[in-house]
């Protein structure tokens, strides 16, 4: 168990093996409740700085890996709990987004290529999917309505804007 601190100074314990994602909070987009956002079965904002939180979780969760969010910031995720890589349709292929994976019932878009996403998921013994062949999107046409909009997106607001980070 790892001890973290909420904004009110109260300490709480968290099982590091249950962490899905970790990222630095972004002023103006996250509630001003902490320095780091930990996604477990709920979101926890903690006072610990992101590098400290990552180090503590890595001590309990060997499958913690790192990729880049669409906004250009690094984030960490439990690659064993991930499923992917997932195809990225033309409507989502912007701001450097090259691939995606699913975790915790939501889709995470990333700037890395499908092959890098696949390698991390495979190494962690996650739910490895075949590397998508993006030629299915010839002429920038989506294969069908709602292809990549049916699943909720992690940090959807951040992915639609250009925050100052």
- Give the residue with greater pLDDT, 35 vs 157: 35
CA distance 107 to 99: 10
Alpha-carbon distances, residue 18 vs 53, 54, 147 (angstroms): 14, 13, 29
Residue 114, pLDDT score: 96
Question: pLDDT (tens digit, 9 = 90+) per residue, 89-116?
Answer: 888 888 789 999 999 999 999 999 999 9
* Cα angle value 115/121/124 (rounded, 5°): 140
Q: Reply yes or no on whether the pLDDT at 74 is more than 50.
A: yes
pTM: 0.87
């Amino acid at each position: 168990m790892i001890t973290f601190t909420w904004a009110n100074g109260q300490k709480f314990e968290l099982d590091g093996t249950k962490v899905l994602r970790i990222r630095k909070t972004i002023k103006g987009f996250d509630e001003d409740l902490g320095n780091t956002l930990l996604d477990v079965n709920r979101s926890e904002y903690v006072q610990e700085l992101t590098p400290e939180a990552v180090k503590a979780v890595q001590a309990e969760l060997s499958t913690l890996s790192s990729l880049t969010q669409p906004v250009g910031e690094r984030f960490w995720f439990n690659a064993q709990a991930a499923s992917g890589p997932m195809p990225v349709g033309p409507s989502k292929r912007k701001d450097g987004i090259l691939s995606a994976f699913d975790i915790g019932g939501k889709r995470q878009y990333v700037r890395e290529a499908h092959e890098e996403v696949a390698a991390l998921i495979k190494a962690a013994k996650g739910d490895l999917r075949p590397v998508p062949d993006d030629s299915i999107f010839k002429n920038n046409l989506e294969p069908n309505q709602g292809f990549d909009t049916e699943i909720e997106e992690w940090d959807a607001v951040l992915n639609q804007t250009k925050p100052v980070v």
